[in-house]
A and B are shown apart, each in its own frame.
Chain A
Amino acid sequence: MSDVAISLRHVSKRFSQNGGPAAVGDLTLDMRRGETVVLVGPSGCGKTTTMKMINRLVEPSSGTIEVDGTDILKQNPVELRRHIGYVIQSIGLLPHRTVRDNMATVPKLVGWKEGRVEQRIDELVEIFELDRELLERYPAELSGGQRQRVGVARALAVDPPVMLMDEPFGAVDPIVRERLQDQFLHIQEELRKTIVFVTHDIDEAIKMADRIAILNKGGVVEQYAPPEEILREPANNFVKQFVGVERGLKRLALTNVSEIEVEEGPVVTSGTSSEDALKEMERFDFHWTAVVDEGELKGWVDVPSVKRVRTVSEVEPRPFSAYVTEQSTLREALDSIVTSRTHVAVVAIEGQRYKGILTLERISREILS
C-alpha cells in the first residue's frame, strides 16, 4: 500500500455553466495515510466543496480523485460513501431514530448481522465514553456535546479508513468544543484514520492537524505544511494574515513540556539544614526553594522562613499555587510563569513527582530556535 491515502489531481468544480468563477479552480493535494489534514481558509475558499468531492456529494467538473489508489469517479457513489465516514457541523442525526439506531445506520446499510451491529455499538459506546442510557434516546433529547459525539461515533461505525469532517465541533460552546477536540485527538491517536477536516478556525486547525492546507478563493493552496511550519515560516502574506497575530504563542501551544529539557532549580528535602538550604537558593540566585521528600513535591519555603530555623523540617512548606505537568503545553507553562509571583513554572509529573523548573528565558529560547 502506498503512503498516500487520498490524492486529488487538478481537480476543479464549477457550479454555474456559464463561466462564472470556479468554486475550485485547479487543486492538487496528496493526503497521507493516518494523517489529519485540515482544510482551512476564509469563506468561499472552496474547502467544503473540496471535501464533498471526495465522497461525491459534489461531482468534480474535471480532474481525478483517488482514494486508496482507486479512482472514485469510477465507483458507485453510494457504495463509496458507505465506506467513508462523514460528519457535518449540524451533525444531521436522524431525528426519528434513537441514538442506537443512528449509530447502526451504516452497518445496516452495508448489511451487517444484528449481533455484529450490537457488538460494534458496545465498542463505540466505550470509545466515546457515552452513557449507555443515551442509546434509547432520540437526538432531540441530547445535549449539544452528546449529539456531536454520537455523530462522530456514527461516522466511525463501520470503521472506515477515511473520515470527512466538516466543522464537526462548530455547533457547541467553546468549553465543550475543547473537550470534544481533546477526546477526538485521543481517539485518533489510537485509530490513525486518514481524516479530512474542514474548519474556518485557524486555532482549531493548528490543534487538530498533522498537516494544514491553507486555501484562498477558488481553492488555491497557499501553503500545505505541518502546523509548526506554517507558524514558523508562513509562505506568504496571505498565510501570515490568516494565521494572525500571536504566531509565537500558537507555536508554544503545539509543544508539550515533555518535548523540551526542563531546567534544574533549587531543591531541598525536609531534612536539609537551613544553612544548606540557603546555599542552595543562593546557587540559583532564588529567594525560595522547592521542598521534595522522596521525589514528592511538598511545596516551597523562602529565605526569611528558613533563616528563623535550623532545619527545613521546622517550616511548613507552602503549596505551589500552580504547577505544570509534562502533558502541559509550553503555552500553559508560559501562563504559569507570568502569573506566578516567582516567575518560574514548576514541572511535576504524575503523582506530584518533582521534575524541574521552566523559566521565561528557557521558553523564549524555544520560540527562537
Chain B
Amino acid sequence: MIVAQVEGAPFIQWSWVADRTDVVLAKLLEHVQLTVIAVVIGLIISFPLALWAYRHKKVYPPITVFTGLLYTIPSLALFALLVPYTGLSLETALIGLVSYTLLILVRNIVAGLDGVPADTKEAALGLGFTKRQLLWRVELPLALPVILAGIRVATVTTIGLVTVAAFIGKGGLGYFILLGFDRLFPTALLLGSVLSMAFAVVVDGLLVWTERLVTPWSRSRKLVTT
C-alpha cells in the first residue's frame, strides 16, 4: 500500500478512511479480540495465584517479584524476544499482553480479599459457612470493587499495548499507527490512535457501569432511623 502525505493535500484525508472502512473494522475487531482474550487469560492465571498468595502470605512476595519483573520488560523488547520461539503469531502477541496484566490483576485480587473486614469473615464462619462458601459468597463479592478496579487498569493498559504488537503484525489498530509512522501519513497515525483511545474510554466506562451494577450495596441510600 503506497501512500504518502502529498504536498498541499489536507492534513486528514477522510476519503482515504472512507475507502477502507472494511480494513478499519477488521483491525478494530482484532484489537477487541486481542484485548479481551489477553485480559481473560490474565485473569485465569492470576486468580489461582492470588488465592494462593492470599491463603499463604509467604508466597505473595515471590509472586509479585516475578510478575513485577515481567511488567518491567519493555514491551517492544518482549515481543522481539518471543519471535524466535513463537514466530509472528497470535501467541506471541498474547504471551506479551498477558504478561503485563498479571501484576495488576494479582495485586488487586489480593488487595480486594485482604480488604474484607475480619469481623465479617468471623461472623460468617460463626454462622456456619464452609471455607469455600466463605470465599465465593462473602470474600469475593466484597472484594469485587477492588478486583474490578484492577481489571479496568489491566484492560486499559492492554488496549494501549496491543498497538505495540503491530511490529509483529498482530497489533489491531496499531497497524494504522505503524503505517502512518512509516509513511509519514498523519491520517493513518491519527486514525489508529484516536480509535484505540476511544475504545479504551468506552471499555473503561463499561467497566465502571458494571461495577455499579454488581455492587448495589455500595450505593448507600439515605439512613432511616426508627
A interface residue numbers (CB < 8 A to B): 55, 57, 78-83, 86, 88-97, 105-106, 109-110, 131, 133-134, 137-143, 145-146, 154-155, 164
Contact of B124 among A83, A94, A139 (CB under 8 A): A94
The smallest C-beta distance from A244 to any residue of chain B, in angstroms, reads 29
The smallest C-beta distance from A79 to any residue of chain B, in angstroms, reads 7
B112-128 interface mask toward A, CB cutoff 8 Å, 1 = contact, 0 = none? 00000101101111111
The smallest C-beta distance from A109 to any residue of chain B, in angstroms, reads 5
The smallest C-beta distance from A23 to any residue of chain B, in angstroms, reads 17
- In the complex, the answer to whether A81 meets B127 with C-beta atoms within 8 Å is yes
Q: Is B80 at the interface (CB under 8 A from chain A)?
A: no
- In the complex, the answer to whether B129 meets A109 with C-beta atoms within 8 Å is yes
The smallest C-beta distance from B34 to any residue of chain A, in angstroms, reads 33
Within 8 Å CB of B138, what residues of A? 94, 96
**Distance A82 CA – B221 CA, assembled complex (angstroms):** 31
Given A88-B119, A146-B226, decide whether A57 and B126 contact each other with a Cβ distance below 8 A: yes
B189-220 interface mask toward A, CB cutoff 8 Å, 1 = contact, 0 = none? 00000000000000000000000000111101
- In the complex, the answer to whether A141 meets B220 with C-beta atoms within 8 Å is yes
* A55 closest partner in B (C-beta): B126
Q: Is B222 at the interface (CB under 8 A from chain A)?
A: yes
Sampled A-B contacts (12; CB under 8 Å): A78-B128, A78-B130, A86-B126, A92-B124, A95-B117, A109-B133, A134-B226, A137-B221, A138-B220, A140-B217, A141-B223, A143-B223
**Distance A89 CA – B129 CA, assembled complex (angstroms):** 19
**Distance A216 CA – B129 CA, assembled complex (angstroms):** 33
* 4 closest cross-chain pairs (CB), A and B: A92-B123, A82-B128, A86-B126, A81-B128
Within 8 Å CB of A110, what residues of B? 128
- In the complex, the answer to whether B221 meets A109 with C-beta atoms within 8 Å is no
B10-66 at interface with A (beta carbon < 8 Å): none
**Distance A197 CA – B209 CA, assembled complex (angstroms):** 45
- In the complex, the answer to whether B217 meets A81 with C-beta atoms within 8 Å is no
- In the complex, the answer to whether B223 meets A57 with C-beta atoms within 8 Å is no
Within 8 Å CB of A134, what residues of B? 224, 226
**Distance A91 CA – B117 CA, assembled complex (angstroms):** 12
The smallest C-beta distance from A153 to any residue of chain B, in angstroms, reads 13
**Distance A83 CA – B127 CA, assembled complex (angstroms):** 8
**Distance A88 CA – B125 CA, assembled complex (angstroms):** 12
Within 8 Å CB of B120, what residues of A? 92-95
The smallest C-beta distance from B215 to any residue of chain A, in angstroms, reads 7
- In the complex, the answer to whether B215 meets A96 with C-beta atoms within 8 Å is yes
- In the complex, the answer to whether A109 meets B220 with C-beta atoms within 8 Å is no
The smallest C-beta distance from A293 to any residue of chain B, in angstroms, reads 39
Contact of B127 among A86, A96, A131 (CB under 8 A): A86
Contact of B126 among A88, A93, A131 (CB under 8 A): A88
The smallest C-beta distance from A55 to any residue of chain B, in angstroms, reads 6
**Distance A94 CA – B142 CA, assembled complex (angstroms):** 9
Q: Is B72 at the interface (CB under 8 A from chain A)?
A: no
What number of B residues sit within 8 Å (CB to CB) of A?
A: 27
- In the complex, the answer to whether B127 meets A109 with C-beta atoms within 8 Å is yes
* A131 closest partner in B (C-beta): B226
**Distance A308 CA – B216 CA, assembled complex (angstroms):** 75
**Distance A68 CA – B138 CA, assembled complex (angstroms):** 31
- In the complex, the answer to whether A82 meets B127 with C-beta atoms within 8 Å is yes
- In the complex, the answer to whether B119 meets A92 with C-beta atoms within 8 Å is yes
**Distance A257 CA – B69 CA, assembled complex (angstroms):** 77
Within 8 Å CB of A95, what residues of B? 117, 120, 142, 217
- In the complex, the answer to whether A109 meets B123 with C-beta atoms within 8 Å is no
- In the complex, the answer to whether A81 meets B223 with C-beta atoms within 8 Å is no
* A137 closest partner in B (C-beta): B221
The smallest C-beta distance from B226 to any residue of chain A, in angstroms, reads 5
**Distance A89 CA – B119 CA, assembled complex (angstroms):** 9
**Distance A318 CA – B122 CA, assembled complex (angstroms):** 58
**Distance A91 CA – B120 CA, assembled complex (angstroms):** 8
Within 8 Å CB of A106, what residues of B? 127-128
The smallest C-beta distance from B148 to any residue of chain A, in angstroms, reads 14
- In the complex, the answer to whether B217 meets A142 with C-beta atoms within 8 Å is no
Within 8 Å CB of A139, what residues of B? 217
Within 8 Å CB of A105, what residues of B? 127
Contact of B125 among A57, A133, A143 (CB under 8 A): A57
Interface centre among B126, B133, B141, B217 (most CB of A within 10 A): B126
Contact of A81 among B126, B215, B216, B225 (CB under 8 A): B126
Within 8 Å CB of B124, what residues of A? 92, 94
The smallest C-beta distance from A347 to any residue of chain B, in angstroms, reads 33
* B215 closest partner in A (C-beta): A96
- In the complex, the answer to whether A143 meets B225 with C-beta atoms within 8 Å is yes
Within 8 Å CB of A89, what residues of B? 119
**Distance A140 CA – B223 CA, assembled complex (angstroms):** 8
- In the complex, the answer to whether B128 meets A92 with C-beta atoms within 8 Å is no
The smallest C-beta distance from B216 to any residue of chain A, in angstroms, reads 8
**Distance A143 CA – B226 CA, assembled complex (angstroms):** 8
- In the complex, the answer to whether A109 meets B128 with C-beta atoms within 8 Å is yes
**Distance A138 CA – B216 CA, assembled complex (angstroms):** 9
Given A138-B217, A140-B220, A141-B222, decide whether A91 and B123 contact each other with a Cβ distance below 8 A: yes
* B220 closest partner in A (C-beta): A140
Additional 6 contacts, C-beta under 8 A, given A57-B126, A79-B128: A80-B128, A90-B123, A95-B142, A96-B142, A143-B223, A155-B127
The smallest C-beta distance from B196 to any residue of chain A, in angstroms, reads 35
**Distance A138 CA – B224 CA, assembled complex (angstroms):** 12
B123-147 interface mask toward A, CB cutoff 8 Å, 1 = contact, 0 = none? 1111111100100001001100000
